[in-house]
Amino acid sequence: MSENSENVLKLILQKLESHEELLVLLIPDFKTKKGVANFFGVCEKTLDNWKESGKFQEGVEYFINEKGRVEYIPQGLYEHKKNRQNKQTSNKEPKSEKQKIYHPSVMNIVKGLKVG
């Protein structure tokens, strides 16, 4: 391997290590219900509702430890949030002109307009 290639690899390694350090600072606290709620932008009661309704599945987003306490699974939480965002964006369809609702006085004006 050439000296130039080794220098590039060392630089890449340094960058990866610095990114890893930054990630540790930015990763939310999944050890507490409050941290998980903040990650999703919901209240803590919503997390309880998700568990009761089955939106959060035991063994996927959380598990019960040997002391009987809930522990959250970071990878499962991340996947849940990603899937939730995908569903929200796919459900939002732009309204067509026929679907828009206007004030009745505006509708009277629009009906009287001729295009072309």
Question: Are 55 and 86 found together in one domain?
Answer: yes
Instruction: Assess contact for 79 and 59: CB atoms under 8 A.
Output: no
* 8: its two tokens: 């590039």
Q: Does pLDDT of 15 surpass 80?
A: yes
pLDDT average, residue stretch 37-50: 93
Number of Cβ atoms within 10 Å of the Cβ of 61: 24
Domain count for the chain, please give it. 2
pLDDT at 12: 94
Instruction: Assess contact for 56 and 50: CB atoms under 8 A.
Output: yes
Residue numbers of the domain that contains 9: 1-28
Question: Are 37 and 21 found together in one domain?
Answer: no
Q: Is 107 within the bounds of a domain?
A: no
Q: Is 20 within the bounds of a domain?
A: yes
pLDDT at 56: 94
- Whether pTM > 0.75 for this model: the answer is no
pLDDT at 113: 61
Q: Between these two residues, 26 and 101, which has the higher pLDDT value?
A: 26
Q: Is 82 within the bounds of a domain?
A: yes
Question: Are 39 and 85 found together in one domain?
Answer: yes
Q: Is 101 within the bounds of a domain?
A: no
Q: Does pLDDT of 114 surpass 60?
A: no
Which of 18-22, 25-29, 74-78, 100-104 has maximum average pLDDT? 74-78
Question: Are 23 and 40 found together in one domain?
Answer: no
pLDDT digits (tens, 9 = 90+) for 57-100: 999 999 999 999 999 998 899 899 888 877 776 665 555 555 55
Question: Are 60 and 15 found together in one domain?
Answer: no
Distance, CA of 50 to CA of 52 (rounded, Å): 6
Q: Is 99 within the bounds of a domain?
A: no
